[in-house]
């Protein structure tokens, strides 16, 4: 039995750092183990211009407590983007790609895209620049069940995007269903990120009787056992189209426990790589962890694989219930079972 594993240093291809005091508190937890992170641009004022991206990157890196840490910023795509600035920022690698939030799909997505066909001109530019389109793949419509949003997005939007822009690199973010896994596996130029929580929770952990567990509520919502199994298989064994993206999304506890303002998001960065290692070990696939955490992502994004390594030891990792600093109080993601791996 292995008691220690050494992997190329990971990257997290999907994290939320927020702003202000929250950013100052949470960034170090991701920088603790990752060399690079994609910082999601759904800040209160979304990141839509090159100058905002430059400033946001600086802000994150200077709060990371690490000299090597790099934040990569995608552009928050909107109906009214400044196309010249966007193209310039892609060419200068100021933007690592473009993030598509369908309007009102999740936190701060009210500025998102209402009619995706209307931004096909943006996809055309991205395809030409060999850039990456990151997608929150959910269709939020009154007639669509919350558990079917990913499937509807794939059927009604993603097939068409895929077929229209065959060379556009697409990441289906936080894949949450077996349907999503199948789509990624059966199409070209598309990859998927998988969160730890979608491999650990099912809807029973969120919705019980009339109650909701706000700390396990996220978008896309966690689904059924069959989806969890498909995601574990995708991460651990179908091992080149999927990579690490925690979707660590901190919210102040007030935004979680006061039901009228229940915000979706799970804060997992204090134990992210440890959770993934625990899952891979359960699947007897520890040997494939590095591929998922440190190789598939950079290969897909066309970036260098990290040179440093990270060691995880087989010992149980204790997690505090909350991350608390100053005015910030965030519930840390926790699970019933032990986390078996620890970065020293
Ligand atoms: O659960 C989520 N929280 N999913 C998202 O897509 C956004 C995130 C957030 O920003 O809170
Ligand atoms: Zn997210």
Residue 192 near residue 181, CB atoms below 8 Å: yes
Domain ranges of the chain: 4-343
Give residue 2 CA to ligand 2 midpoint distance, Å. Answer: 33
176-180, 197-201, 261-265, 324-328: which range is least confident on average?
A: 261-265
Nearest to 245 by CA among 312, 302, 174, 294: 174
pTM, two decimals, is 0.97
In eight-state DSSP terms, residue 113 is B
pLDDT higher at 231 or 260: 231
The token pair at 45 is 């004022």
Ligand 1 pocket, 330 CB below 6 A? no
Give residue 332 CA to ligand 1 midpoint distance, Å. Answer: 15
Mean pLDDT of 115-122: 96
- For tokens 């134990």, name the residue: 271
In three-state secondary structure terms, 164 is helix
Ligand 1 pocket, 109 CB below 6 A? no
Ligand 1 pocket, 112 CB below 6 A? no
- The single residue of 11, 145, 247, 313 carrying the catalytic annotation is 247
What band does 13 get if pLDDT is binned at 50, 70 and 90?
very high
In this structure, which ligand is nearest to the CA of 267? 1
Give residue 15 CA to ligand 2 midpoint distance, Å. Answer: 6
Q: Residue 122's Cα: distance from chain center in Å?
A: 22
In this structure, which ligand is nearest to the CA of 137? 1
What pLDDT is attached to residue 335?
Answer: 86
How long a stretch of residues is the chain? Answer: 344
The ligand 1 atom at the shortest distance from the C-alpha of residue 266 is: 1
**Superfamily of domain 4-343 in the CATH hierarchy:** Metal-dependent hydrolases (3.20.20.140)
Residue 241 near residue 192, CB atoms below 8 Å: yes
Percentage of the chain modeled with pLDDT above 90: 89
pLDDT higher at 58 or 238: 58
What pLDDT is attached to residue 103?
Answer: 86
Answer yes or no: 247 catalytic: yes
What pLDDT is attached to residue 259?
Answer: 59
Q: What are 309's strand-pairing partners?
A: 8
The token pair at 290 is 């590095």
The token pair at 55 is 């400033």
Ligand 1 pocket, 249 CB below 6 A? yes
């Amino acid at each position: 039995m292995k008691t220690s594993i050494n992997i190329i240093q990971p990257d997290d291809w999907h994290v939320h750092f927020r702003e202000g005091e929250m950013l100052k508190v949470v960034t170090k937890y991701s920088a603790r183990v990752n060399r690079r992170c994609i910082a999601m641009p759904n800040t209160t004022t979304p990141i839509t211009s090159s100058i905002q991206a430059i400033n946001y990157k600086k802000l994150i890196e200077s709060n990371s407590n690490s000299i090597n840490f790099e934040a990569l910023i995608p552009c928050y795509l909107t109906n009214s983007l400044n196309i010249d600035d966007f193209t310039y920022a892609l060419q200068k690698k100021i933007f690592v790609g473009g993030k598509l939030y369908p309007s009102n799909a999740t936190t701060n997505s009210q500025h998102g895209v209402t009619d995706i066909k209307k931004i096909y001109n943006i996809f055309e530019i991205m395809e030409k620049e060999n850039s990456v389109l990151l997608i929150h793949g959910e269709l939020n419509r009154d007639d669509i069940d919350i558990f079917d949003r990913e499937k509807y997005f794939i059927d009604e939007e993603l097939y068409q995007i895929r077929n229209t822009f065959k060379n556009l690199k697409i990441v289906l973010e936080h894949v949450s269903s077996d349907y999503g896994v199948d789509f990624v596996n059966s199409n070209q130029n598309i990859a998927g990120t998988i969160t730890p929580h979608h491999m650990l929770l099912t809807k029973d952990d969120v919705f019980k009787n009339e109650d909701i567990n706000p700390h396990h509520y996220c978008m896309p919502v966690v689904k059924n056992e069959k989806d969890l199994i498909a995601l574990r298989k995708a991460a651990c064994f179908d091992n080149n189209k999927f990579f690490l993206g925690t979707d660590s999304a901190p919210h102040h506890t007030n935004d979680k426990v006061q039901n009228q303002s229940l915000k979706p998001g799970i804060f997992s960065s204090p134990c992210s790589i440890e959770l993934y290692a625990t899952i891979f070990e359960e699947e007897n696939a520890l040997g494939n962890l590095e591929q998922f955490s440190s190789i598939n992502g950079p290969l897909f994004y066309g970036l260098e694989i990290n040179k440093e390594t990270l060691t995880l030891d087989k010992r149980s990792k204790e997690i505090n219930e909350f991350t608390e600093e100053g005015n910030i109080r965030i519930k840390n993601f926790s699970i019933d079972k032990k986390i078996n791996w620890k970065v020293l």
